Structure 1
Amino acid sequence: MLARFREAQLPGIARLRRLADEGRMPEPRSFPTREGRPGFARALRAAGAPAVIAEYKRASPSRGVINLDLTPADVARMYAENGAGAISVLTEEAHFQGSLQYLSDMAFAGVPLLRKDFLLDPLQVLETAATPASALLLIMRMFEGADDVREMIELAREHSIEAVCEVFDEADLDMARWAGAEIIQVNNRDLDTLATDLAVSRRLCRTRGQGELWISASGLESPQQVAEMGDLGFDAVLVGTFLMSRPDPGAALKELAEVGRSRKAALDAERAARRDVVRSGEGRPER
């Protein structure tokens, strides 16, 4: 399946190369505030433990058509109002009926946007820089080596775009770290077989590095599973098909997001209590 995804990227890359040769690549997007693009990792850390990245996905190879009725604006509004820490936007056209335009259509909601696609070429990073996206997805198995990934990450950083490095196993994780990844997304779906297994997240989370932000993606369909990922140490979960296939995606998101908000409130209270104990101990006179 990955070979098909890669092949589907080639016409778009060829188009971007023609634009680059002609000096007609789109200019990087300008933002009205000094802060620029909404911070992706910062928003996730503030939203919950774990935060929910809610995905706009019209179709997929594993499910076919999921939901063609809701517009990007409809979904952005629902997600923003119901606790999304960020919004993942499928822009791949051939297999997911996505569009780069959806990023612009959803930016009004003020929630950080992740461009989810099968990116291969640095020109696609520059293409992303012309959109409101705060982050882009880099799938380790799409690249031949860590140097190629590092080039994409560094170019993204030059344009204040955060790179989310997607892994399926320990070899992918090693590649992501060699490339300088700071955000790790564990995909529970094997992109060759399309089967999902949460055991992938359960296994890989044991190797989480200090300072990394971790996301569990695919196969998450209940508050209990979201809570489990939080207990395992994931900072966020990415949920797409489950939300888009519900009669009311906003209500479904609200239920999942409440798990992370409640856990974060409890953790924050626990940390505050520990700080108070330390301060009270520091203030006692020596005997």
Structure 2
Amino acid sequence: MGTILDRILDQKRKEVELLKSQPVIKSGSTKNITPLYDTLRQSNQLSVIAEIKRASPSKGDINVGMEPPEQAKLYEQSGAKAISVLTDQPFFKGTIEDLKQVRETVQLPVLCKDFIIDQVQIDRAKQAGANVILLIAAALPEEQLKALNDYAISSGLEVLFEVHNEVELKAAESLGAKIIGINNRDLKTFKTDLAVTERLASQIQNPDVMVISESGIKTNEDAKRVFQAGANGILVGETLMKSNNVPDALQQLIV
């Protein structure tokens, strides 16, 4: 059966084969967007990357009926510094079209949140207007991660490099990751613990590295906890997607 991550990656390999059979035009948004790294670096508050997330394997349906452009605009107006768009369809009910619509709507950096295992996915993300892609250390061997990281950067994209433990953090640092995402959720068990950010952020000595705490951040207290641990930003999906008052919920997370 394998872990949830194993099942997602199995499906992703099939998706990649399908993508490779279709032409991908290597172009992207011409919008003049401030890079995510600069946005994080210039802020003395905790920056919120607000996520468009319809569903997840652990929570099931979260907010299937929302319209991504409307949600993204609401995020932007409420103080988000970037928008993350889940583009995985089988497990998260997202699409690349969601990302295109969001890119057309906001002036913020847009992160393509997916399980990237091949260059063709990076080409597709750029074509859809992404400024940033996600690379997950738990998903691939270090050599492949380095090749994809280098390819994304050479394509003019930023990389959010996601780690969950010390071994993955060392891999991120060895390839010179400028934005490191610490996922509080174990992708093999989907258990979440904010102590992961506290533990790993304290080990990042390079002041030029920007740290994003991901998953499990729901309250003002959670936000303060990871900010005090050294996070420059947080990536929040479920809490905002479920909120009946997005502006208030988002403001509660800016500390």
Bucket of the pairwise TM-score, normalised by the shorter protein: over 0.9
Contact 1:37 1:132 in 2 (8 A): no
Distance 1:38 1:133 in 2: 13
Tell me which moved more, 222-231 or 195-204.
222-231
Contact 1:150 1:180 in 2 (8 A): no
CA shift, 1:106, in A, is 0.9
Among residues 83, 90, 96, which one is paired with 1:87 in the alignment? Answer: 83
**Structure 2 vs 1, CA of residues 159 and 92 (structure 1 numbering), >3 Å: closer, same or farther?**
same
* Equivalenced residues, count: 250
CA shift, 1:30, in A, is 4.7
Please list the CA deviations of residues 111-155 of structure 1 after superposition, one character each: whole Å capped at 9, or x if unmatched.
11111111101121111121211101000011122x211111111
Does the residue aligned with 1:97 lie in a helix, a strand or coil?
coil
CA shift, 1:71, in A, is 0.4
CA shift, 1:37, in A, is 4.5
2:72 corresponds to 1:76: yes
Structure-2 residue corresponding to 1:218: 215
Name the one with the larger helix percent: 1
Distance 2:29 2:131 in 1: 12
Contact 1:188 1:201 in 2 (8 A): yes
Structure-2 residue corresponding to 1:14: 17
Does the residue aligned with 2:156 lie in a helix, a strand or coil?
coil
Contact 1:136 1:161 in 2 (8 A): yes
Letter in 1 for 2:76: A
Which structure has the larger Rg? 1
TM-score normalised to structure 1 length: 0.83
Among residues 96, 106, 110, which one is paired with 2:107 in the alignment? Answer: 110
2:24 corresponds to 1:25: yes
Contact 1:50 1:229 in 2 (8 A): no
Cα RMSD of the aligned pairs, angstroms, is 1.4
Structure-2 residue corresponding to 1:124: 121
Contact 1:78 1:249 in 2 (8 A): yes
Letter in 1 for 2:240: L
Distance 2:244 2:37 in 1: 29
**Structure 2 vs 1, CA of residues 168 and 159 (structure 1 numbering), >3 Å: closer, same or farther?**
same
Distance 1:236 1:200 in 2: 15
Among residues 240, 244, 253, which one is paired with 2:241 in the alignment? Answer: 244
Letter in 1 for 2:62: I
Letter in 1 for 2:7: R
Contact 1:38 1:134 in 2 (8 A): no
Does the residue aligned with 1:203 lie in a helix, a strand or coil?
helix
Distance 2:61 2:29 in 1: 35
Among residues 145, 151, 168, which one is paired with 1:149 in the alignment? Answer: 145
Gaps of 5+ in 1: 260-287
2:139 corresponds to 1:136: no
Gaps of 5+ in 2: none
- Identity over the aligned pairs, expressed in percent? 33
Distance 2:96 2:244 in 1: 25
Letter in 2 for 1:227: K
Distance 1:248 1:13 in 2: 38
CA shift, 1:179, in A, is 2.4
Tell me which moved more, 166-175 or 243-252.
243-252
